[in-house]
Structure 1
Amino acid sequence: MRTDFGAPPLAASNRALVEERLREVREGTGIKETLTIEWRGKPLHVEVIDMPVNDLYFNPGTHRIRAQRSHEPARDRALDEDPWSDDSQDYLHFLLRALPKDPALRDKDFDALMESLREFKQTDPGLITRDGILVNGNTRRAALKDLGVPSIRVGVLPESCTWADISTVELSLQLRKDHRRDYSYINRLIAIDEQVSAGRLLPDIAREFHVRKETAEQDVWILSCLRDLIARSSTGDAQLRLLDFEEAQEKLRELHRRYLKDSAVSKEKADLLKESRLAAIALGYSKTDVRLIEPDFHARYLDRLLPDSLKPAPTAAPATVAIPGLNRSVKAAGAGVAVAKALTDTVLKALAVETAGDKVPAPQLAEASRTIAEARDAFSSSLEFAGKDARVRKRRQAAPDRITDACQDLEQCITDLVMARASNSLDEEAYDEAVQSLRAMLGKLALESARSIKVPGDGVSWLLDAAAEKA
């Protein structure tokens, strides 16, 4: 996407009008309204004026709808080629009204903004360049235009403003904690990635976005992962879009945390987990369902339930893979990872075709729908089995976990005893009663252990002997 969109057609007339209105404000005797922004690392107070709504331009580079631009690829390309044409500006207006996760639908938050503006008028000024390009307040201008309001209050940036300044100022205003409407999840990822691409250090970016450095690293990893998925989904003219993953924020974050944990032990198992979970996320499964997917999910459940049409043809996996640009090779991923990746690719391509809808031939769309239905059937059945096994494991582990927790409490009790002895503050009677309760409880535990365990180990044998001595 372009980063310098040049000047709009009405730039000269807007500059003249801005200068005239600024002069009127400076020469007036009333209270002058200003807006404080962060300008090149320092706070700057800019003057606020009224400008005609219809003479201003939506910012083609705004981060607010960066991911949503791909909703109509042809209009997106036209927006890059001629951002100031009526059609391009109308497309931006349409996207600003649209629901971020599905631009085909109207955003209820936009309607709420319109109602607020209708009832209370404009409370906060927007921000423009002297050419009349909105840096902040694009959505407000869209709402005011729909309402037929003739003017909008805006602060005016300095004459030396560049497109890099526009991007930086927009981000700084959006990331203020008191801002009423946040960027969508994907647009936030894109904004962070742009800052990384600009050469900024990750700790500085994290500070500006009010997140921890680890969270910023996670966001960069997730966006890279999503872009890889989109590239893998490409088939003919059909391709998934970043906005198709707008609702997957928590699932993707959990995947990243689990991937880091597993890759520290086994890269291959981590990749198996990643591929199976990504396929489930793309198919729209819930967070609780995705959590059931472990590294052995494909081999243990999915493989036997997949129809032959979704199983890749067996091929010999290479033992090593050459590193481009270096005279070295590394161990290739195992056959299991290749199989899981092939299934994910099949699912992604089918989803891309289904998302394209009537833009692809009907037979191709029907085949994609059949593939998705078969994949969902196999995943749903596999997740049902995985859920049953997880519940069984949880029940099996419940009693040992309780004893482990009790041991931790007793360990803390030892520390408390030492501290109480040092300060001579132990309530000995209460302590004695608690120990008697412990003794009685151990007796009950021994009784149930004897009934439940046919071949006791050393620990259970000690418990049974201790209970027998008490009796």
Structure 2
Amino acid sequence: MHVPVPALDPNRSVSLAARLGDPPRTMPVPAWPRPDKELPVVNLEVAWVRFSTINHRTKAEQIRERRKSGRDDLFARSPLEKEAQDAQYHILRQQNGFAELKEDLKARGQQEPAIVTADGVLINGNRRSAAMRSLFVDDDVRSARYVRCLVLPSDATAEELVDLETELQVAKDFKQDYSWINEALLIEELYERENKNFKRVAERVHRTVSDVRAYYDKIQQVHQLVALSKGTREYVDFIPNESAFDELAKHIKNKTEAEAQNVKDVYFIGTLTGVEYRNLRHLRRPDAAALVLEEIRNDSRLEAVLDEATNSSGAEKRDDDDLLDAFIDDEPRDSEPLSGLLQLVAATDKEATIKLGDGSPIEANQLFSGLRRSITNAATEAKEDTRDRKEITAPLERADAAIGEIGRMIQALPRARRYDDWDEAAFASKVEHLEKLLLKAKGRS
């Protein structure tokens, strides 16, 4: 599918073209998808270049800014004008490592050229250009006034720009500049563009198919939680929770519908309330919801919230069925009481107060801390139960392994006895040792 690139600004295009030499100095860019890899080089003022508002590195942050401003078209209506550019500059300045990047640029200068469209929109080098602009404007570092850029052809398409960004920034070093959320959002976009073919996406980003599929699965979980939150949670809020989403996505993939939903509801509530994923991992089991519900009902305040949430949801179908019912069948499931609680927790602001049916309120932070404690307690119980189960089954599992090894020994014995240097006495000693161990296992030693 061809997606046209936003129309170039003719005035800026003319201005940039006038700065190129005749003929212009060029540099090769192997990542540029066209056969002709040579691109013109030019120095542009950092205050003149424009930040890309379709930069995938900042996609989740842009979603947050659009919601905060109440403007869905904040970055799309006039992407080169002051409002959108200021918002994008603010996002870039707030990213982790920005101060360190400024210090590096101040000490060593610009090491690699940025890449811009024919009207000066940065496709690669947004963070570096933002850091140089801050050095020049805020810190009066005169050497940061100009940014060296490579200029793309005026007919570059949106697909080519995404491919270039993917190759330059994503495939080489995702983790340096991309949060896992933005990485996953880009993979999701590429997946749709590549006719839902994970193999082709993996080739684009130079990763394995399993890696790409894992990112896709994780972002689907985040989509669901963000939708459930009804604006109280942002994609960027879940950046610290990659391990939890990773473990959840892998666990539910091949589980029954009931177990998948049980674990999913527990993981979602746990993630929203700040339970460490190291604890949540002990609840990857069919009775996860039952264990958590038992702990919740041991606390009268939490039980009141649970009842309120359950009564509020009642027998009505959730508005988010299309997002959350992928694993639900028509049979009752253990985690059903958690469904209403999950909706309540997801949509509750951390500073809110929740009114219960009897009129008594509970602060959101009290609810979250209580649920965090209950889920952690359930995880501890599950961990101990798993350990006990392992201790019970360990002798049987080891016996099975020993039986298998003895069977293979018997099969190999005739072949070994054909050789002249076979040591029958040594073998008889081993068999005698095995007999003594078996007597000990029977309690007869």
What is the TM-score normalised by the length of structure 1? 0.77
**Distance in 1 of aligned mates of 2:103 and 2:414:** 65
Q: Relative to structure 1, is the Cα distance of residues 301 and 156 closer, same or farther in structure 2, using a 3 angstrom cutoff? A: closer
Q: Relative to structure 1, is the Cα distance of residues 308 and 167 closer, same or farther in structure 2, using a 3 angstrom cutoff? A: same
Report the 3-state secondary structure (helix = DSSP H, G, I; strand = E; otherwise coil) of the residue aligned with 2:305: helix
Pair 1:295 & 2:283 matched: no
Equivalent AA in structure 2 for residue 445 of structure 1: A
Pick the aligned partner of 2:168 from 162, 170, 173.
173
In the other structure, the counterpart of 2:15 is: 16
Pair 1:164 & 2:154 matched: no
Report the 3-state secondary structure (helix = DSSP H, G, I; strand = E; otherwise coil) of the residue aligned with 2:217: helix
Pair 1:140 & 2:128 matched: yes
Equivalent AA in structure 2 for residue 38 of structure 1: W
Deviations for 1:85-108, whole angstroms, at most 9, x for unmatched residues? 323222212212324xxxxxxx2x
The aligned runs of 1:212-361 (5 Å cut-off) are 212-234=208-230, 238-263=231-256, 267-293=257-283, 294-303=285-294, 304-305=297-298, 306-311=302-307, 312-313=310-311, 332-350=330-348, 353-354=349-350
Quote the offset at 1:241 in angstroms.
1.2
Pick the aligned partner of 2:52 from 35, 45, 59.
59
Quote the offset at 1:43 in angstroms.
6.7
Equivalent AA in structure 2 for residue 349 of structure 1: A
Pair 1:35 & 2:39 matched: no
**Distance in 1 of aligned mates of 2:401 and 2:80:** 65
In the other structure, the counterpart of 1:396 is: 392
Quote the offset at 1:422 in angstroms.
7.0
Q: Does structure 1 retain, via aligned residues, the 8 Å contact 2:279–2:379? A: yes
* Equivalences, count: 412
- Tell me whether 370-379 or 409-418 shows the greater mean CA deviation: 409-418
In the other structure, the counterpart of 1:459 is: none
Q: Relative to structure 1, is the Cα distance of residues 336 and 424 closer, same or farther in structure 2, using a 3 angstrom cutoff? A: same
The aligned runs of 1:76-91 (5 Å cut-off) are 77=72, 78-91=74-87
Report the 3-state secondary structure (helix = DSSP H, G, I; strand = E; otherwise coil) of the residue aligned with 1:307: helix
Deviations for 1:239-263, whole angstroms, at most 9, x for unmatched residues? 2111111122222122122112212
**Distance in 2 of aligned mates of 1:343 and 1:37:** 49
In the other structure, the counterpart of 1:384 is: 380
Quote the offset at 1:423 in angstroms.
7.1
- Tell me whether 341-350 or 310-319 shows the greater mean CA deviation: 310-319
The aligned runs of 1:435-454 (5 Å cut-off) are 435-447=431-443
Identity of aligned residues (%): 23
- Tell me whether 378-387 or 288-297 shows the greater mean CA deviation: 378-387
Report the 3-state secondary structure (helix = DSSP H, G, I; strand = E; otherwise coil) of the residue aligned with 1:37: coil
Pair 1:116 & 2:104 matched: yes
Q: Does structure 2 retain, via aligned residues, the 8 Å contact 1:21–1:50? A: no
In the other structure, the counterpart of 2:141 is: none
Quote the offset at 1:205 in angstroms.
0.8
- Tell me whether 334-343 or 419-428 shows the greater mean CA deviation: 419-428
In the other structure, the counterpart of 2:190 is: 195
The aligned runs of 1:428-439 (5 Å cut-off) are 428=424, 430-439=426-435
Report the 3-state secondary structure (helix = DSSP H, G, I; strand = E; otherwise coil) of the residue aligned with 1:82: coil
Deviations for 1:165-205, whole angstroms, at most 9, x for unmatched residues? 32232122223336782421000111011123335332211
In the other structure, the counterpart of 1:452 is: none
Quote the offset at 1:421 in angstroms.
5.5
Equivalent AA in structure 2 for residue 156 of structure 1: V
Question: RMSD over aligned Cα, in angstroms?
Answer: 3.4
**Distance in 2 of aligned mates of 1:180 and 1:273:** 29
Report the 3-state secondary structure (helix = DSSP H, G, I; strand = E; otherwise coil) of the residue aligned with 2:128: helix
Q: Relative to structure 1, is the Cα distance of residues 348 and 333 closer, same or farther in structure 2, using a 3 angstrom cutoff? A: farther
Structure 2: which 5+ residue stretches go unaligned?
Answer: 137-143, 323-327
Quote the offset at 1:434 in angstroms.
3.5
**Distance in 1 of aligned mates of 2:399 and 2:99:** 56
Quote the offset at 1:156 in angstroms.
1.3
Pick the aligned partner of 1:154 from 120, 124, 149.
149
**Distance in 2 of aligned mates of 1:279 and 1:173:** 37
Q: Relative to structure 1, is the Cα distance of residues 439 and 313 closer, same or farther in structure 2, using a 3 angstrom cutoff? A: same
Q: Does structure 2 retain, via aligned residues, the 8 Å contact 1:222–1:256? A: yes
Q: Does structure 2 retain, via aligned residues, the 8 Å contact 1:272–1:295? A: yes
Report the 3-state secondary structure (helix = DSSP H, G, I; strand = E; otherwise coil) of the residue aligned with 2:233: coil
